[in-house]
């Protein structure tokens, strides 16, 4: 029986050659938001390595939305050129280039992981952070500024403008980052959103900004190309965002024309309690898929071909996103095809190593 992991998946006008996706992973290697040759080699090698879809790291829609000064950005036209070059290489390898657009909110303005991932103040090259409410992520953080209506409107318009640039850069899949404790997730969770206006309180109010961003993105993103949304299915903390709300949101997003929910979890609060283990997030993708009918992607400690095959073959998710495992092995697609006895095309330059 042929592998489900290596079966194609058509979403709107594109067809992924397999269900292996390179998850967006920050490289903390940009300058002023600009991609460079590190990103070309990092993303390009994974396209040559057989993955069906390559999603560029969380790319900030504005300078203050970056997690770190080394984050990629799409807040000005000059940032398009290098991304276009990278995408054309990805396309040349019969893979699909995707982008994740993001705003880090109160989790912005941090140093890179190899510099301690510490909050940067303005004397260290950092900047003032924003959030739905003036609540710190870590007790030692500076207090974020609660966004007013003008600030919220700017976030929406920044996502819209970045989407227009993503189209110009030839991205073929766009993912909105509403997970991992970043700004849209901060609005969704009652642990970080204490607002009393139309953006706080009820479930409908807490998801309002995410829906406004979806609508703004759709105004620039062609209906012919897939639109994903990444969510954290649960905060893993009492009183926080939960799986039932994730199902409810996913139903609404499906009705709004979103094609796939990329299902992760956690990241909102520092006191989260996550029961880590292989496939620990897969049940959330499975639940959302079964209860809403929308396509889902599974992520998190999925490291082996047979493990990924079982998830897709049993209908728990439609795509598998690989992060750390793809850092360990850029040729993940080629390796997994060998593991599952699937024949797939190799780059001509590498064919002599194919056994």
Residue 81: pLDDT band (50, 70, 90) is: very high
Mean pLDDT value across residues 182-190: 98
Mean pLDDT value across residues 98-107: 98
Predicted local confidence at residue 307, as pLDDT: 98
* pLDDT above 80 (res 177): yes
Predicted local confidence at residue 214, as pLDDT: 98
Contacts of 91 (CB under 8 A, 6+ apart): 97, 170, 172
* pLDDT above 60 (res 196): yes
Radius of gyration of the chain (CA): 19
- Out of 182, 199, 280, 350, the active site residue is 182
Mean pLDDT value across residues 204-212: 98
Residues 24 and 54: their CA atoms lie apart, in Å, by 8
* pLDDT above 80 (res 1): no
Active site residue 182: yes
* pLDDT above 90 (res 9): yes
Predicted local confidence at residue 5, as pLDDT: 98
Burial class, 158, CB count within 10 angstroms (exposed 0-12 / middle 13-18 / buried 19+):
buried
The 10 Å CB-count burial string (b at 16+, else e) for 207-238 is: bbbbebbbebbbebbeeebbbbbbbbbbbbbe
Predicted local confidence at residue 355, as pLDDT: 74
Give me 267's structure tokens.
């990241």
Which contacts qualify for 325-332: CB closer than 8 Å, 24 or more apart?
Answer: 326/22, 326/23, 326/25, 326/46, 326/51, 327/25, 329/49, 330/45, 330/46, 330/48, 330/49, 331/48, 331/49, 331/50, 332/20, 332/22, 332/46, 332/49, 332/50, 332/51
Composition of the chain by helix, strand, coil, percent to 5: 40, 15, 45
Residues 342 and 335: their CA atoms lie apart, in Å, by 10
Cβ atoms < 10 Å from Cβ of 205? 16
Task: Please write the tens of the pLDDT for every residue from 296-325.
Answer: 999 999 999 999 999 999 999 999 999 999
Look-up: residue for tokens 């190309």?
225
Residues 9 and 247: their CA atoms lie apart, in Å, by 23
Mean pLDDT value across residues 105-134: 95
């Amino acid at each position: 029986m042929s592998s489900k992991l290596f079966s194609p998946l058509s979403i709107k006008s594109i067809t992924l050659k397999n269900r292996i996706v390179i998850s967006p992973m920050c490289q903390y290697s940009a300058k002023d938001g600009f991609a460079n040759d590190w990103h070309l080699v990092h993303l390009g090698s994974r396209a040559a390595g057989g993955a069906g879809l390559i999603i560029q790291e969380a790319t900030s829609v504005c300078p203050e939305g970056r997690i770190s000064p080394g984050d990629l950005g799409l807040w000005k036209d000059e940032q398009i050129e290098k991304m276009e070059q990278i995408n054309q290489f990805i396309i040349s390898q019969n893979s699909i280039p995707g982008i994740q657009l993001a705003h880090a909110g109160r989790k912005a303005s941090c140093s890179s992981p190899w510099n301690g991932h510490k909050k940067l103040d303005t004397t260290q090259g950092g900047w003032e952070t924003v959030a739905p409410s003036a609540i710190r992520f870590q007790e030692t953080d500076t207090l974020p500024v609660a966004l007013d209506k003008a600030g919220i409107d700017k976030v929406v318009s920044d996502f819209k403008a970045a989407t227009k640039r993503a189209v110009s850069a030839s991205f073929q899949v766009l993912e909105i980052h509403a997970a991992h404790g970043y700004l849209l997730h901060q609005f969704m969770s009652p642990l970080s959103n204490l607002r009393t206006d139309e953006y706080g309180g009820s479930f409908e109010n807490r998801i309002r900004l995410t829906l406004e961003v979806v609508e703004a993105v759709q105004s620039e993103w062609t209906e012919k190309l897939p639109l994903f949304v990444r969510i954290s299915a649960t905060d893993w903390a009492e009183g926080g965002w939960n799986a039932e709300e994730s199902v409810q949101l996913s139903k609404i997003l499906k009705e709004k024309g979103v094609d796939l929910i990329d299902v992760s979890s956690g990241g909102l609060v520092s006191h989260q309690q996550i029961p880590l283990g292989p496939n620990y997030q897969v049940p959330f993708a499975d639940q959302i898929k079964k209860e809403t009918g929308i396509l889902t992607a599974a992520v998190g400690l999925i490291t082996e071909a047979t493990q990924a095959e079982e998830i897709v073959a049993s209908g728990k998710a439609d795509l598998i996103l690989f992060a750390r495992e793809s850092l360990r092995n850029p040729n993940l697609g080629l390796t997994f095809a060998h593991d599952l006895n699937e024949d797939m095309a190799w780059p001509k330059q590498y064919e002599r190593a194919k056994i």
